[in-house]
Amino acid sequence: MGILALLLLILSVHLSEGHFYHSINILASSNVSNSCVNGTYWIYTYFGECVLTSLQYAAFIIGLFSILFWIFAQLPQLIQNCRTGKADVALSALFLLQWLGGDLTNLIGAFLTGQLPTQIATAIYFVIMDAILLTQYTYYFVKNKKNSSKGYRRLRPATPLYIVILCGGTFLFANNFLSINFHTPKAVNILPGRTLLSTDGYVVDTGSWEDIVGYVIGCISALLYLGSRIPQIVKNFRRKSTDGLSLPMFIMAVMGNLTYGLGILLYSVETIFLLRKLPWLVGSIGTLCFDFTIFIQFIIFGLWRKTKAKSGIEGGDKSSFLQNSGKNHYHSIQ
């Protein structure tokens, strides 16, 4: 309800053309392209999105909420890893690698298609967060393996090496991107979200190699996002546990994907528009069934653990009762 109230407040400010809305436009760049004369200045300036209607404005604000959810999504898992020290036990290496792969391809595509520095900076942030998670995984894998070899035989010895190489390459890649003077972005429509390549102009409008490559990379990124949950689901099933996983991380991932998909659908439901957005819709809304599967695993394995613990306590009490009864019977005979 709080989010809905905030959204309605923003929409009312937009429609009222009051002092606050006027101030926002003054802060934005006055050099707005002639192709977006009637659009919202600050959105076009900082995000490259030409917002003309109230519905498009609502879609954009919902997309901003998607960014906020994704910015904080991985923090609970980072904290959980530090608390438990079992990142390598709880998380699937393939899950983390595919997540990193999706964000890396997203970043490369954002650069190739000339996105704004704000979008590229956000993509870099996601890649860095993925790299930190992988670094934690490697650190606890090595640390726990020194303490005990139990439970790690299934993982190939080369896995930590691959992760270290990927993390090192990721940081070098991000560092080089930060030093680049980005060329002027094209006037394309961009809906914010974890996947930033949701532009209108790919393939159909221009047919340039940058747009084609960007669209193809966007499809690859969407497929990596879509399949990333499967290794984690399999690992949870094999362990019969979700211990060490952060439920808030998956909740925020669901909220991020829901708001992102809703933002696209609110923007337009025209067939050609949805076809151009299809890879990003699949990469966001398509993951929800896997996320809900993980939610079900949290519930089932949580109940199973409680039942097992309860039966263990009852079994222990029954054993103690039998032992005490035997002792009393022995003493009575004497």
DSSP 99-128: HHHHHHHHHHHHHHTT--HHHHHHHHHHHH
pLDDT band at 123 (very low <50, low <70, confident <90, very high): confident
- CB of 203 closer than 8 Å to CB of 211: yes
- Does 95 fall in a domain? yes
Rounded Cα distance, 138 and 164, in Å: 7
pLDDT-based confidence at residue 75 (cuts at 50, 70, 90): very high
Report which of 183, 188, 182, 202 is spatially closest to residue 44, judged by C-alpha positions: 188
Confirm whether 6 is domain-assigned: no
Whether the predicted pLDDT of 19 surpasses 60: no
Q: Residue 280, SS3?
A: helix
**Buried b vs exposed e over 117-137: b needs ≥16 C-beta within 10 Å?**
bbbbebbbbbbebbbbbbbbb
In a domain, 20, yes or no: no
- Residue 323 reports pLDDT greater than 70: no
pLDDT tens digits along 58-73: 988 998 899 899 999 9
Does a structural domain hold residue 174? Answer: yes
DSSP 89: H
310 within a domain of the structure (yes/no): no
Higher pLDDT, 314 or 67: 67
Q: What is the pLDDT of residue 117?
A: 77
One-letter amino acid of 140: Y
To the nearest 10 degrees (0 to 180), the angle between helices 229-239 and 288-333 is 10
* Residues present in the chain in total: 334
What average pLDDT does the structure give for the chain?
A: 73
Q: Which of 20-29, 37-46, 111-120, 231-240 has the highest mean pLDDT?
A: 231-240
Between these two residues, 188 and 116, which has the higher pLDDT value? 116
Question: Across 5-14, 57-66, 112-121, 241-250, which has the greatest mean pLDDT?
Answer: 241-250
| Mean pLDDT in residue range 179-203 | 44
Q: Residue 10: count other Cβ atoms within 10 Å of its Cβ.
A: 16
Decide: 144 and 86 in contact? Cβ < 8 Å. Answer: yes
Determine, yes or no, domain membership for 42.
Answer: no
Q: Please tell me the total count of domains within the chain.
A: 1
Most confident of 13-22, 110-119, 220-229: 220-229
Q: How confident is residue 201, by pLDDT bands cut at 50, 70 and 90? A: very low
Angle ∠(74,78,84) on CA atoms, nearest 5: 140
Per-residue pLDDT, averaged over 258-284, amounts to 83
pLDDT bin (cut points 50, 70, 90) of residue 221 is: confident
311 belongs to a structural domain: no
Over 60: is that where the pLDDT of 30 sits?
A: no
Q: At residue 198, does pLDDT exceed 70?
A: no
- 31 domain residue, yes or no: no
Cβ-Cβ contacts under 8 Å for 93 (sequence gap 6 or more): 137, 155, 159, 163, 231
pLDDT, one tens digit per residue, over 245-270 is 999 999 999 999 999 888 888 888 88
Residue 10 has pLDDT above 70, yes or no: no
State the residue range of the domain holding 203. Answer: 54-303
Q: What is the pLDDT of residue 292?
A: 95
Which among 190, 193, 189 has a CA at the least distance from the CA of 255?
A: 193
- pLDDT of residue 304 exceeding 90, the answer is no
